[in-house]
Amino acid sequence: MQWHAQANGGRVSAGRWSGALNSLKLGLQTAGNAGTWQVQTDGKPISLDWRQDGTGQSFALGNGSAKLISPLPNDPQAATLSWQATGWSVPIATRLNANTVARWQSQGKLTGLPLGWVDVLGFKSLAELGIDSDMLLDGTWEATQTDSLKLRAVLERSSGDLTIRAGEERQQIQRAGVSLAQLKLSVLANEVSASLRWDSARAGQAQLALATRLVNQNGTPVWPDNAPVSGKLQVQMPPIEAWSVLAPPGWRLRGFLDAQATLTGSRSDPHWRGTMQAKDLAVRSVADGIDFQQGSLLARLEGRQLLIDAFTLRGSGKDGGQITLSGAAEWRATPKVDATPIDHVDMQLKAVVQALRLSTRSDRRLAVSGTLSADLKDTRLQLRGDLKADRATITLPSENAPNLGDDVVVRPTRAQIAAANNLAPVNVKHPGARVVPEVNIVFDLGTDFQVRGRGLETRLAGKLELLASDGYPPTLTGTVNTVRGNYQAFGQRLNIEQGILRFVGPVDNPVLDILAIRPNLTQRVGVQVIGTVLFPVVRLYAEPDLPEAEKLAWLVMGRSASGSGGEAALLQQAAMALLGGSGQGPTRSLTQALGLDEMSFRGATGSSDTASGATITLGKRLSNDFYVAYESGLAGTMGVFSIFYDLSRTLTLRAKTGDQSAVDVIWTRRYD
């Protein structure tokens, strides 16, 4: 603190000193190094008088005023504090009056106090909440202390408003339309009362009144544990976008809220009675695919308990489903000496989920049903659940999705910089206080859990159990199987005959056992994936076994390799794609553009005229058992149209039409 004062010499007489303070200038440094606040008088002399005699001693301060000047950037405003003559006296103790009480009086007013200055008090910055304020507050006080304390203080809005910023970058601006903001405090003898009133056009209305009683101990007012308390609360909030300042960036909240409550009991044992109703509740996050609507809440306050009779939210759309929650939360006493707020809370909640659409993103659609429960006691939170997917469609992201380059630097917005500069350090009294979770949730993938993308198209089935406890990372146990499905690789669509993911601990590293076979070949070939997700092993598969080159030839071209230059180049590209892990064949993009499952080129064998013997084949799988293909020679005038239908695992019906028509039944027997 820096200060500078100028005063006259004053006059000294027996038991008395009097003088005047001509000017005073103080510099105050606040936490967070926000700058130096200045307090300075208006330059008019302020009388000072101190005296002591046989009855006691007293001090008097004359009328005066001072200004508080802010160091905050872009804030030239200054609050003015003015006071009337203030006196303080203490009588000398006697044998008849051993307990003496200081007597004093004070009266004054405060004008032009900006609401934005609350940031320096250690509260959360208004900028962090997305709120700008040009509101100014005025206050008055009048206090006397004789045999008892009398105090009356008022702080209320004099001008200005609140501006609420919403949106992804908080660019949407909405005025709250505040017409009344008032805080009153009154002390009369031992009776204390306080009231808060708030009224605005778009930020709701609120009224709060509290009253209690103090006890005078040796001239000092004390608030004992058994002091009676009473109060009344009324809150009405409209469905405005301003609710979104309470949510993370990108989230939107909406809803009506109407709460009424009364307070009775004592300081150590308060009892609330009231109701809380909310309707038209909605929460939305486009980026996360969260969209819940048509929510409602009916809750009661009974003593120290909050009883949730019904809380419902519906998913987006006609078939969005809903979640219904009920339960209770209680604030209880605890014998812990260093108890934190969470030590006082007991909670029991139960939720019933009915085909609730959890995600509406086009690449991640999920609806689940089941039950959930949450029990909190002694800072230990137990989560239990049994959920089942009603329907799900998960689209895997492309490996070629665009990413920001290494030379791209994302800088914070001006609002984020301002919030960081104005953020004061928070004094955490109990840094170790936290909730200890114990999670046990079983998730059934159901009968319609579809996964697509990166060449994969299949349905998953199975059950997984999520376990988590304090000090240990979450684990998954269970087995997930593919049900039919296919995998696109090297321009071919492979049937997934076996697909198993075994979770035995880490959530992100299941064990793989996958086998995909190319259909409609006399030779059984495909791709096998084993190992784990983090360390997969991909290899070619053939039954009976073949050399690696032959496996690749059968997989890519559907026949044995002839050794020609064109085929060698094609196989080389396929091998590089396999080693690179992309699974992309050289004709993949063109095949997808035409909506085909197969497009292959086969050169002539045993002929010097390569062009005249070359053929091109186009194929499309209409179902898992039905496949059609068209083959034409580059030098021919008529192609061959073929139909393949799998009657069983060993029998295939083949029909061909072209220069010659035929119907064949192919029986396959494999020998290991």
Write the secondary structure of 566-624 as one string of H (helix), E (strand) and C (coil): HHHHHHHHHHHHHHHCCCCCCCHHHHHHHCCCEEEEECCCCCCCHHHHCEEEEEEECCC
Query: What's this model's pTM, rounded to 2 decimal places?
Result: 0.66
**Rounded CA separation 31/669 (Å):** 84
Helix (H, G, I), strand (E, B) or coil at 106: strand
Strand pairing of 251-265 and 364-377? Answer: unpaired
- The position carrying tokens 């660019």 is 171
**Rounded CA separation 334/304 (Å):** 14
Report if residue 353 sits inside a domain: no
Q: Residue 372's pLDDT is what?
A: 95
Distances (CA, A) of 460 to 70, 297, 374: 63, 36, 29
User: How many distinct structural domains can be found in the chain?
Assistant: 1
Other beta carbons within 10 angstroms of residue 510's beta carbon come to: 21
Given a contact cutoff of 8 angstroms between Cβ atoms, the answer to whether 584 and 591 are in contact is no
pLDDT along the chain (672 residues), means of 10: 59 76 78 70 86 83 88 72 88 59 87 80 59 88 87 94 67 80 92 94 90 82 89 84 62 85 90 91 84 92 91 89 93 74 87 92 89 91 94 78 66 57 43 74 93 84 90 86 82 84 85 88 86 84 86 78 54 55 50 62 49 66 74 66 78 79 77 55
Q: Residue 490's pLDDT is what?
A: 63
Contacts of 497 (CB under 8 A, 6+ apart): 515, 516, 517, 526
Q: Residue 608's pLDDT is what?
A: 43
Report if residue 565 sits inside a domain: yes
Report if residue 11 sits inside a domain: no
Give the HSE-up count for residue 429: Cα atoms under 13 Å, Cβ half-sphere: 6
Which structural domain range is residue 482 located in? 445-667
Distances (CA, A) of 525 to 42, 95, 627: 95, 111, 18
Report if residue 529 sits inside a domain: yes
Report if residue 299 sits inside a domain: no
**Rounded CA separation 231/235 (Å):** 14
What sign does the CA torsion over 531, 532, 534, 538 have? positive
- The position carrying tokens 């939210």 is 313
What sign does the CA torsion over 570, 575, 578, 582 have? negative
**Phi and psi (nearest 5°) for 13?**
-135, 180
In SS3 terms, 308-375 reads as EEEEEEEECCCCCCEEEEEEEEEECCCCCCCCCHHHHEEEEEEEEEEEEEEEEECCEEEEEEEEEEEE
Alpha-helical segments (H) within 423-564: 548-557
> Among candidates 607, 569, 609, 602, which has minimal Cα distance to 586?
569
DSSP 421: H
Strand pairing of 36-41 and 511-517? Answer: unpaired
Tell me the DSSP string of 109-128. Answer: EEEEEEGGGGGGGTSPPTTT
Q: Residue 536's pLDDT is what?
A: 83
630-656: pLDDT as tens digits: 787 665 555 788 887 877 767 878 888
Report if residue 449 sits inside a domain: yes
Given a contact cutoff of 8 angstroms between Cβ atoms, the answer to whether 591 and 598 are in contact is yes
**Rounded CA separation 596/619 (Å):** 6
Report if residue 622 sits inside a domain: yes
Q: Residue 1's pLDDT is what?
A: 55
On the 0-12 / 13-18 / 19+ scale of CB atoms within 10 A, 479 is middle
